[in-house]
A and B are shown apart, each in its own frame.
Chain A
Amino acid sequence: MLNQSEIEKALSEALSKVAKIGDQTSYDSVKSDLIGKNGQVTKIVKTLSQLPPDQKATLGKKINELKKEVEKALTEKEISLAHSEKGLEQDLTLPGHKPVVGHLHPTTIVINEMNEIFLGMGFSVASGPELETDEWNYDRLNLPLDHPARDLQDTLYIKEPDVLLRTHTSSIEAHILDEMKPPYRFVIPGKVYRYENANASNNIMFYQYQGLVMGEGITMAQLKGTLNTFVQKFWGKETKTRFRCKYYPEVEPGVGVDISCTFCRGAGCSVCKNRGWIEMLGAGMVHPNMIKRVGLDPEKISGFAWGMGLDRIVMTRFGISDVRSLYNGDIIYQ
């Protein structure tokens, strides 16, 4: 029967054998001698089951230690062999011959990521004209001529007063309302245009991301659930949302959606103007006037819509501080 000193002896013998290994061939044979099917260490481990119960606790521990120590020594030897042998022929730390990689534009990456989230919730993607008439850009969105909210969106005109570049992706919402039969769920990413003196934070052309859900029994609770899901998937589970009352002519009731500041996590910083919240989205229930306009009954059909600016989100994600950089040739993918 084994005793403690025999185990210790076996360990020191095994370690000295490992220490003497000089190349891969001797490594393979020593490894087999020690922990192969009939190896010395393996044999000792096999005796474990035959030990009398009173010795199992003390000797069993020793035997396990023996096995672990030998295995560890072998692994270390294997790594050191790999370094010394292969290193003689080639330096594998050199940069590899990398195939050429193409990149998507940061804005496309963000749009794809958002589309992915909404596709999972049964949404389709829509697009539409950028050259619009007053009717689709304003009138159909409950913004008749001389509505004060038109001041907020300085328009670029092609032909006054009725041909213009769309000032928001809501114009596509107006087309969808007119053309499609509910129920439906759409997201609409796209370029929009405003009269701006371009600077680091405002551009003449920028991107918006619009959403529209219409059907029977659609409520603000679903608006909240849908946008909560989106926010937490896009910015992370720990991101909080705040839904507050806000006025937009094309919705009633209107909703402003804030997310907890992703920089200070709500503690207050310069990015969130010490509010702890960042204004992220405008949303609300599709205005009954717009539902009536397309011949539907707002008592039966309801829906919600939202819109958000994409560029700021893209800039934050990619560490870009000047919005013009996104579209002026500054991005060179080098």
Chain B
Amino acid sequence: MNIPLSWLAEYVALPKSEAELTDKLTMVGHMLNKRWQTPGGEVVIDLELRGNRSDLFAIIGVAREVSAIWNTPLKTPSLAKLPEIKSNSDLVIVKSPGLVERFLAFKLKVTVEPSPDWLVKRLSDYGIPSINNVVDITNFVMVETGEPMHAYDTAKLAGKKLILRQAKKGEKFITLLGTDITLDESDLVISDEEIPQGLTMIGGKNSGVSNETTEVILEAAVYNQANVRRTARKLNIFTEAGTRHDKLLDPNQVEFALARALELLTKHANAKVVGEAFDFYPKKRHPKTINLKNEAVLKLTGVDVKPSKQESILKSIGCDVEKLNSELKVVAPTFRTDIEQSADLVEEIIRIYGYEEIPAHSLFGETPAIQTSKIISFENNVRDGLVRLGINEVITSPLVHTDKNAISIINPPDPDFASLRTNLTDSLINYAKRCQGFRVERIALFEIGKTYHHDGKKYQEELKLALALSGKTGSQAWGVKNRPMSIYDLIGTIEALCEILNVEILVNSAGAIINKELGVIGNIFQAGDIFVAELSLEKIADLPKTPIKNYLAPAFPPIIEDMSFGVSKQTEFGQFMKAVTKISQLISRIELVDLFEKNRTIRVTYISAQRTLTEDDIKPIRNEIISLAKNDYSSVVRTVKS
């Protein structure tokens, strides 16, 4: 809110330096947003106010904070006496009591003329243009007290009364700014006997106070804040009155504000009350009593503020305080609609006492057990593993272009971000294409993120890992053998990752990534020249761990021999190689060293930890390999070379 400093100074003495004022206000919760000087020389500060402090959207409210901080007296403005309230007045009919907490109104004869200079200046410093004395005074008092009010030209009101009701669907209304608006049943209107004359946050064009006006109905109210906010947002009407009405206002302030307005109207618009006042206030709001234990401040803040200091601070913000044995009985003023319980009072005490007085302690006591979930640690291992393999991490938006088969946003700001992705690979393929556009020679990407679907009963989120490879194995550099990548680079990357993670998977000829215990955990495929894989990270995390490898150099020499096989069309050679490793403990390694048309050459390494192996040890194993190839994998051994 904008606060012209000379206006603020009418109610409280300001500290000598402006920086002291704004620094301290910032520290107690009202951050200085900006400051400027008007052409007339007035310094205006704009404070970022708290949404739960409706009392601060008022110059007097800010003055009260200043008075509490510097412990200086608050000067309240002079008030007129309000007309007597008549319970059966027919000036106003409230037909929607659920949306109105208080509505106080009375009639006045007025002389409409231009405002005096001081009033024009105050409003212009704040940022409200001057209209005429009556309208300006209602605006001035709103900014001064925080309570919005409105004056209706009685002559323009059918039936010369106000009716508070919900709008009819499609009902039209023209605001005092001339905007045409169509209403519905959710909107509260202040109408006459025929048409709406005002909304909670703005008056109507028809009944606004003009130079011809001689009599007005002046009202101030507190409405249901949520309803005000909904209407304002729906109709896109943001006004000074709406800003205040959508907060939890104090209905008891309505009288104070109207008495202040009447004082000024009497002085500057020759106002004379006609008849009695109407007041709708079925449920009076009473001040809250809170017992604040003496040690509560220390327990929550770590600062030992003496009970007498607690008492003086609470009094300075307007509370009544009574000292009891080990606690303070605190009655908070009703305008502090934010104060509800002990912790709220602790905040009041510590913010005035000074947040800078809070010491910095480290966390003491026993360190709680580490409870990081297995999947989070595993996710980090996968990330690190892939980076070790030279794959780059990317993050893409989980929100993707509208997809009818996916979970979708009801209110998307942009059709490109309207649905939740069902896979990571689409985004990763696009990412790889983008890299191709930038002429990246070796494209190697991974992403760990969620996919989303509805399983018929519940919304499900699944943590996935996706990989994309494209281009060459390295960047163009001198002396480096650089070849185009193939699907086997992708498979090899996944195998290497499994080696790092100590798990085992195999890829079948359909591209499914399989584990014997857990079934399918992902798949690989080719999209043009981009090789992609998507795997369930949760399933990889659940894979049984393979035995830890012994990296020691062997004590006895190995026997290494190459075996060539002729394969047939249906041979799944990778499956065969895996089966070979299971034949004997002596087989320590098996590699595919050559591949040409239908010939496959494997290199088998035999090692024993106990002794030097001989041909007698190897021969039966070799024969078993050859018969396995023949019987189960329709492959014929061609040569064996040691």
Contacts and interface: CB of A to CB of B under 8 A. Distances in A.
Contact of A245 (B355, B407, B408, B442): B355
Contacts of B366: 183
Contacts of B474: 100
Contact of B411 (A98, A157, A253, A327): A157
Nearest to A183: B368
Interface string A113-144: 00000010110111101110000000000000
A213 B34 CA distance: 35
Contacts of B614: none
A195 B414 CA distance: 9
Contacts of B17: none
Interface stretch (A23-31, A58-66, A104-112): A104-112
Interface string A217-242: 11111101110110000000000001
B633 interface: no
A131 B459 contact: yes
Interface stretch (A46-54, A76-84, A158-166): A158-166
Looking at A98, A186, A246, which has the most chain B CB atoms within 10 Å of its CB?
A: A246
A197 interface: yes
A89 interface: no
A229 B362 contact: yes
A121 B407 contact: no
Interface stretch (A13-21, A33-41, A148-156, A259-267): A148-156
A222 B459 contact: no
Interface stretch (B49-57, B162-170, B271-279, B558-566): B49-57
Interface size class of A (residues with CB under 8 A): 35 or more
Contacts of A218: 363
A103 interface: yes
B90 interface: no
Contact of B372 (A125, A196, A226, A334): A125
Interface string A263-279: 00000000001010000
A120 to B, nearest CB: 10
Given A157-B411, A229-B362, A327 B396 contact: yes
Contacts of B479: 97
A213 B363 contact: yes
B93 to A, nearest CB: 26
Contacts of A247: 29, 50-53
A215 B225 CA distance: 36
Contacts of B438: 332, 334
A334 B440 contact: yes
A107 B395 contact: yes
A2 interface: no
Given A108-B383, A124-B370, A245-B28, A253 B343 contact: yes
B292 to A, nearest CB: 12
B612 interface: no
B410 A159 contact: yes
Given A125-B372, A186-B371, A285-B300, A160 B397 contact: no
Given A220-B358, A327-B397, A158 B343 contact: no
B620 interface: no
B235 to A, nearest CB: 15
Nearest to A160: B410
B568 interface: no
Given A103-B387, A215-B365, A246 B350 contact: no
A110 B302 CA distance: 31
B373 interface: yes
11 contacts: A99-B390, A102-B391, A122-B367, A126-B371, A160-B410, A184-B371, A197-B414, A218-B363, A219-B300, A302-B300, A327-B397
Given A148-B225, A219-B299, A219-B301, 5 more contacts: A125-B376, A165-B409, A184-B371, A245-B350, A334-B440
Interface of A: 94-95, 97-105, 107-108, 112, 119, 121-122, 124-127, 129-131, 145-146, 148-149, 151-152, 156-160, 163, 165, 180, 183-186, 191, 193, 195-198, 204-205, 213, 215-222, 224-226, 228-229, 242-247, 249, 252-256, 273, 275, 285, 287-288, 298, 302, 326-329, 331-334
